[in-house]
Structure 1
Amino acid sequence: MKNKRFTAVATAAAIMLGVCGCAGNTASSTVGGSTDVSSASSEAKDLEEVSVVLDWYPNGSHVFLYDAIEEGYYEEEGLKIKVEFPSNTNDAISMTSAGKADIGFYYMHDVIQANANQNIPVVSIGAAVQNPVNVLMSLGDKNIKTVADLKGKKIGYGGSVLNEAFVKTMLKNAGLKEDDAELIDVGFELMSSMTTGQVDATIGGFVSHEVPELENQGFTVNYIKPTENGVPDYTELVFVTSKENAEKNADKLTRFLRATKKGYEHVKANPEKGVENLLKNQNTENFPLNKDVETKSVATILSLAEKDGAPFLSQSEETWTNNIKWMLDTGVITKSVDAKDMIVKLVD
């Protein structure tokens, strides 16, 4: 899925300066089943709207959000959720930092980049997926099972400086040189670049999406985890907001997180219902979902949403600090920043 991540953080800075107004161009849909049904009632009039900008169109990564909408958990907290899909470079950061959205669903490394490279004051208020989902993957017939097997191979990626750093770190960790493998920018075509033989492997695909999607197409897939090959452990997906919003609207954001956690617990207990609620909210025009793929995706996300000592939504200052150091050492960021300035704890 990281082939669909937008990487020009500078756009966020431009929005903060008023150069471009992305809110008017962002595809959006107010979703929420019973929220719409009750909108004419006095109770519905009391619901407070929360706008949430996703990293992409609805998929398994967002199952907790859509489950909480369909099960009415946000309404129980007095909230109505407006989900918006990105149409410009990392809208989840640019729109929240500019006050055009309440919450963004995005990536820990991008929050660090925004703060360090662009001085954009966005913070994470909770971790949606504690474990990494970005993997280096290849088709089975390439027989790439370790980083050492990448020597002499072509690796496709989406042009991200971060994924370049992942590959270079992995190669170095395996005792290889940077030029022992060739990086090729394949844009958004991570899967097709492999299936057509343009590259031998790719970095940036999600174990929770591209892997089951390729398997559903009949391919055998091997994948290698960057965090088992030199890259520090990190949190993949986080809920983002502006520092100002976190201070001024802590109560509303806390209620959002409480309801989202209820969605997580419900999906954990009823994964089939979670998939059903997700499929109800798919964007069939731009990103239709396959039930079998999303069933596998949700199972994977559930297995990665928490880890020992790190329950759903919790955040580790040590994890952020380790990644800041690694990003500085690899040139992904140009200056160091303090993890404490990017983490806000609103729920236990």
Structure 2
Amino acid sequence: MAIGALTPPHTDAAPRQVLIEFPDNRLLIDLCGEHDRNLAEIERALSVHIHRRGNQLEVIGEEAAQDQAAQVLQALYERLEGGRALETGDIDRELRMGGAEAGGGARDGDQLEMFKGGPIEIKTRKKPVEPRTQAQKAYVRSLFEYELAFGIGPAGTGKTYLAVAVGVSMFINGLVDRIILARPAVEAGEKLGYLPGDMKDKVDPYMQPLYDALNDFLPGKQLAKLMEEKRIEIAPLAFMRGRTLSNAFIVLDEAQNATTMQMKMFLTRLGEGSRMVITGDRSQVDLPRGVPSGLWDAERLLGEVPGISFNYFTADDVVRHPLVAAIIKAYEADA
């Protein structure tokens, strides 16, 4: 890819201007987006002005912001050159990453090779998934490198979503034989009463976020078949007692709602050839008053144990609607 050199300012008094040249005008159109909405998003985030001049983009603003805008634009263009369309979240990811991870992601071959440098891409049957913050990138790396990893932080930071994506990726690449997803069946501040139906009907409402994630990564018919064959299981935490989970990718979601004994029980299910991920948010404990969270005890007891990775997220890692991050920060400030 040939991208022109950045031009120096014309005069000391004039605003600093940077010109970036993009050789493929068709890709430049995709880079700008419909009605230049992609450029507008970068302008809002970095407080710069971006003008299109033929096959060049002129960036005007403070020097640091200009340089970051140039890096983001180059990274997005290289993504297009690699045959990847710009999707929702791609611009946000490059802004958060500082545009430092140019290119189209991991190519064919062992996904563990992607940690040798450059961007991280988790391949699933329906779509590739890429971390959008540095904390997410470190978390995904730990999921591939450690047999037991914790992801702890507020809602909307991708803890469960990324864990399920990695699980699906490892499953379709033959690194594990099955996926097991568990959650404590604890109501979030409401009493739901006696639900109708069989056991599956009763527990499915608690498990729906896990179904949602799987549906993002696997075609519906394939997912249904794998679940029928028990190669993918979604079950309440209590159903894990007495099992040894070998050659599996195992996720415990909402772990802050597990008691100390439940957490110990679950952690000791880990068998040969398996990977286990524990995700939770310490600010959303729904256990009865006076019942300690097993997630807190796990942090306290296992923080120094070799071979276990603890990964932490903050409101800055929220990748849902921007208001979600603002809401979390407001509640944290009032705590």
Same fold, TM-score > 0.5, yes or no: no
Higher RCO (C-alpha 8 Å, min separation 6)? 1
**TM-score by structure 1 length?**
0.30
